[in-house]
Structure 1
C-alpha cells in the first residue's frame, strides 16, 4: 500500500480503516528520518522562494540579511517541532504515558505485560508501548529481537510493529527478529501468526515455519526446528546461512565489541555455525578457520578482521 499525503491526513484525523492504520504505523516506525527530511525540504524550498522573490519595498522597510537569517532559523525550528508533534503527540496522545524498555549489548530482559503476555527481550533491543495497552488493543513496537509468549484474548489481537513488517496474533508463541539494518525474521513455535509486509501482503505461518525479509525484500519461507531459533535465551549463538554483516552485528551485541573489517571481501561470505557459551576468542577462532581470515582482539573493545589467508 502506497503512503500518500491523503492517507497520512486520514490517520491523524482518526478516519483510517484498521488496515490503513497498520500500514501508516509501520511507515511511521521505519521512515521517521525521511519524513522529517521531506518536511524540512519543503520548508527550505518555500523559504527560498520567499527570500529570492524581488522585494518591491522601499529601502527603509527591507529586512537586513541578519534578520532574514534569524527568520530562516526560526522557521526551521518550528518545522522540526511540527514533525515531533505529528510523530508523537497528535490525536490527543500528548497526555499518554509511553513506556520504553531497552537492553544493552550482552544483556536480556523478561517483561510481563498487563494482559499476561511474557516477552523476553534480546540484547540490543527496544520495546515501546503506551498506557492504553490492553484497553482496546494490544500494540507494541519492537526494534531488535524478542520472544513473545502471547496470552490468549480473541477480542484483542496482539500486534507488533517492527522494521518493514507487522505481526498480528491472538495467542501464540513466536520469535521476532527486527533489528535496524538487518534481515527481518519471524519464527513460530506455537499457534498461528499473521505477518504483513510494507507492501500490504499478508503471510500466515504455523508452528515450525519461518519467514525472512532482507533489506525489506521477501527472502524465503521455510520449515525449521523453531526451538533452535530461541537458543539466544540460553546464550547460544545460531548462524544459519547468515550474511557476514549480520553475523558481525550479532557478535558485537553479544560480546560488547566493535568489529572492523580490513578486507571487505568477507562481506560476501555467509556463516553457518552454533556456539554455546563460547568466549569471543573461541568464536573468532572457529570462524577464522572456516572462513580463512586473520583477526586481532584489541583491549579497548575493538576487533580487527584482516585479509583472507592465502
Structure 2
C-alpha cells in the first residue's frame, strides 16, 4: 500500500463493496433527499487504497457506478414521498327494499294491491251517499320500475311516475280540488273555473283551472313545474308566487328561490309514453333516473364524470343490461353492472 496526499486521494473512488454499503445507507434514509457531497466526504475519510495507475483507472470506473447508484437512490426517495392519487367514489342514488306493485290505500286503513290494471278510474260517489258519510282520502303509490295512469273523481287524468304518490279525496267537495303529490306526475286537468285545481308538494303549490303540466318533486334539487298548455301559478313555501306560460319551467334554486326559464317540454314528458328521453342532460341526472326506475345503486368513481352532458333515449321496457351496454357504446365513460350496483369509472 502507498501513502498518497489529499489531492490525489480526492480522485480515488469506492470499491464495489463500498458502493453497496453506501447505497444501503442511502435507501434507509430515503424519506429525505440524500446529500451527495456530504456522503462522499464521509466515505472518502474512511477509504485507504492503492495509488498505482491501475487502481486509479479502476476507481474512475467505480465513480461512475457510484454516481449512478446515488441517482437511483434519489429517484427512490422521490417516489417514496410522493402521495398516491386516490379515487373518491360518490354514491348518487341508493336502491331500497320496496313493494313491486301499485298500491291503493285509504286513510281508514284499507289497502288494495294493483297488478294488472292499465288505467285506474275513481268514480265519484253519488251526492246523497257523500252527505251521509265522511269523505275518505285515497292514496295511490307506485314502486320503482312501474308507473300508473288514472282518472280522478272530477275526470282529471293523471300519469304517476315510478316511486311516486298522489293523495286525493274520493269526492271533490268545497271550493277547490286539491291533491298532494310526492315524486313525479303529469296532469290533464278537467276545466272548472269555479273550482281551481291545486297540486300540493313538499316544495311548492301549483294552482290551475284547466291545463296540462308536469310536476316533479322527488327532492328539492329536482323540484319543478313545467307547463304544456294553459296557465298556472306556482307558489313556494315562503309565499313567493310566479305565473308561467306554456314552454316555461318553474324550479327551485339552491337558496329555495324560484327560477323561471324557457325549456323544451317534449323530453320532460316522454316518461309518460314509456321512454327515457334525455337531451343534453347531465350524466348524474340521467343515472339517477335510471337508478330510480331499475332500483339500483349508482356510484361515480370520478366526480368530474357527473357533469358530462349527453343525449340518450331508451324504453322503460329495456333490460338494465341492455341499458348499460348502450351507455358503454357511447364511449364517454366505463359503466359496470354488478348485481344491484352500476359504477361509472
TM-score normalised by the shorter chain: which range applies? 0.5 to 0.7
2:337 paired with 1:297: yes
Structure 1 equivalent of residue 310 of structure 2: 272
Say whether the 8 Å CA contact 1:154–1:170 is kept in structure 2: yes
Whose radius of gyration is greater, 1 or 2? 2
Aligned partner of residue 276 in structure 1, secondary structure: strand
Aligned partner of residue 334 in structure 2, secondary structure: strand
Q: Which moved more, 1:241-250 or 1:158-167?
A: 241-250
Aligned partner of residue 217 in structure 1, secondary structure: coil
CA displacement, residues 142-170 of structure 1 (integer Å, 9 cap, x when unaligned): 11111100001111111111131110000
Pairing partner for 1:154 from 177, 184, 193: 193
Say whether the 8 Å CA contact 2:324–2:337 is kept in structure 1: no
| Separation (CA, whole Å) in 1 of partners of 2:219 and 2:258 | 17
Change (3 A) 1:216 1:283: farther
RMSD: 2.5
Change (3 A) 1:197 1:237: same
Pairing partner for 2:216 from 173, 177, 182: 177
| Separation (CA, whole Å) in 1 of partners of 2:283 and 2:169 | 36
The one of the two structures with greater contact order (alpha-carbon pairs below 8 A, sep at least 6) is: 2
CA displacement, residues 160-217 of structure 1 (integer Å, 9 cap, x when unaligned): 1113111000010111111125421211111111111122111111222222224463
Aligned partner of residue 182 in structure 2, secondary structure: strand
C-alpha displacement of 1:294: 2.0
Q: TM-score, normalised by structure 2?
A: 0.55
| Separation (CA, whole Å) in 1 of partners of 2:258 and 2:324 | 28
- Give the total of aligned pairs: 210
| Separation (CA, whole Å) in 2 of partners of 1:172 and 1:287 | 36
| Separation (CA, whole Å) in 2 of partners of 1:140 and 1:291 | 44
Change (3 A) 1:215 1:100: farther
1:101-120 alignment, distance < 5 Å: 101-120=140-159
Say whether the 8 Å CA contact 1:115–1:134 is kept in structure 2: no
2:253 paired with 1:227: no
Residue segments in structure 1 that go unaligned for 5+ positions in a row: 1-94
Structure 1 equivalent of residue 205 of structure 2: 166
Change (3 A) 1:184 1:270: farther
| Separation (CA, whole Å) in 2 of partners of 1:219 and 1:240 | 23
Pairing partner for 1:213 from 252, 257, 280: 252
Say whether the 8 Å CA contact 1:121–1:146 is kept in structure 2: yes
Q: TM-score, normalised by structure 1?
A: 0.60
C-alpha displacement of 1:288: 4.9
Say whether the 8 Å CA contact 1:260–1:303 is kept in structure 2: yes
Structure 2 equivalent of residue 7 of structure 1: none
| Separation (CA, whole Å) in 1 of partners of 2:310 and 2:259 | 17
Change (3 A) 1:126 1:220: same
C-alpha displacement of 1:253: 1.8
